[in-house]
Amino acid sequence: MERRNVTHTVAVVLFGVGALLAASLPATAAPGAAGVSTDQSAALQRDLGVPASALPSQQAREVAAAQTAASLDGLLGRSFAGSWLDPTGRLVVGTTDASEVESIEAAGARASVLGRSLDSLDAVMATLDGRASSVPAAVTGWYVEPASNSVVVRATDPAAAESFAGDLGAVRVEQVDQTPQLMADLVGGEELIEQNGARCSIGFSVTNAATAFVLTAGHCTSRGGVWSGPGMIPIGPVERTSYPGDDYGLVRVDNPVWRPSPLAAGSRGPFAVTGAVPAPVGASVCSSGSTSGLTCGRLLAADQTVNYGNGNVVSDLLRTDICSRTGDSGGPLVAGTEAQGVLSGGTTCFLIFRGESYFQPVGEVLAANGLSLVTG
């Protein structure tokens, strides 16, 4: 598996009505903690129980941690063993070389000397990804967990996970209660609607030199056809789908009624997104979907492979403890004001089950297609 580090700053957007409504575009929601909108601040308080007074310092720490982690990844090279936030919110950086501890701590992170490099764990991931065509239905996914210096294989049946992993070293089996499902609603709905009624959610807008596209989930655009936005106003046809393997799709913007805007949807109005720096594992994140609205949680893992069943295996996903529902697919994930991904799928959330959601990283889509996120 190729490890992707997308650390350049770019702006992200959702599409808003353009030519017909340009004079009455909604105002950006007022900024809250550390520049995030009041909408996000409220959702972070509600979903993570973070006091309003603590939000500014938390957001500032997480932004700084993301920048430090990216810098140390490049500095440590092959000895780099991953990074994460500990329960106190402090950045931890792993290394296989004890002589690097001083450099890590000088950068403001806590050092952890580990036995396996991130590259070696990625090699185990690549082996498991190569077995995706024969993965048992009980195995729900696998991912690198730097904090435990292992590759975690998740399954409803631990024996199936052990059989799937075989004699690979560095593997830890984790039992889960639910299997992931895709979050598209094929009964019809709102937000991003296929001509025959399938409903997903608008993610971000992206462009090449001449054309704008809606970035959404690939299991949505795999249906093809022309997709419409709110009010059933047509946007355009599917330009590209990558699913399974990845889970993203591009809808070409042919209708001049729609135009790019540096905004992401929130329940109290849109908020501006300023970049796409990847957040460290443990950071607070928020997602917006046409069914669930704005919901928040924590980034639990990166580069996770997820088995949706029936041969539909998707790799390199972000895993969160955000609750998502049918119709939310393709919706945006942000960390503060930084774009992270678009919703792929998740597990059911109800009553005592918080659920989990998986997201296709934005940076991978941009790099693979020569695209840019539209700046505000």
Active-site annotation holds for 134: no
Given 47, 185, 219, 228, which residue is catalytic? Answer: 219
Given 39, 122, 247, 316, which residue is catalytic? Answer: 247
Active-site annotation holds for 99: no
- Pairwise CA distance, residues 20 & 3, whole Å: 43
Phi, psi torsion values for 164, nearest 5 degrees:
-65, -40
* Residue 291 and residue 51 in contact, taking contact as beta carbons nearer than 8 Å: no
Q: What is the SS3 string spanning the chain?
A: CCCCCCCCCCCECEEEECCCCHHHCCCCCCECHHHCEHHHHHHHHHHHCCCHHHHHHHHHHHHHHHHHHHHHHHHHHHHEEEEEECCCCCEEEEECCHHHHHHHHHCCCEEEECCCCHHHHHHHHHHHHHCHHHCCCCEEEEEEEHHHCEEEEEECCHHHHHHHHCCCCCEEEEECCCCCEECCECCCCCCEEECCCCEECCCEEEECCCCEEEEECHHHHCCCCEEECHHHCEEEEEEEEECCECCEEEEECCCCCEEEECEECCECECEEECECCCCCCCCEEEEEECCCEEEEEEEEEEEEEEECCCCCEEEEEEEECCCCCCCCCCCEEEECCEEEEEEEEECCCECCECCCEEEEEHHHHHHHHCCEECCC
Active-site annotation holds for 247: yes
| Residue 189 β-bridge partners | none
Radius of gyration of the chain measured on its C-alpha atoms: 20
Given 37, 117, 290, 329, which residue is catalytic? Answer: 329
What are the residue numbers of the active site?
219, 247, 329
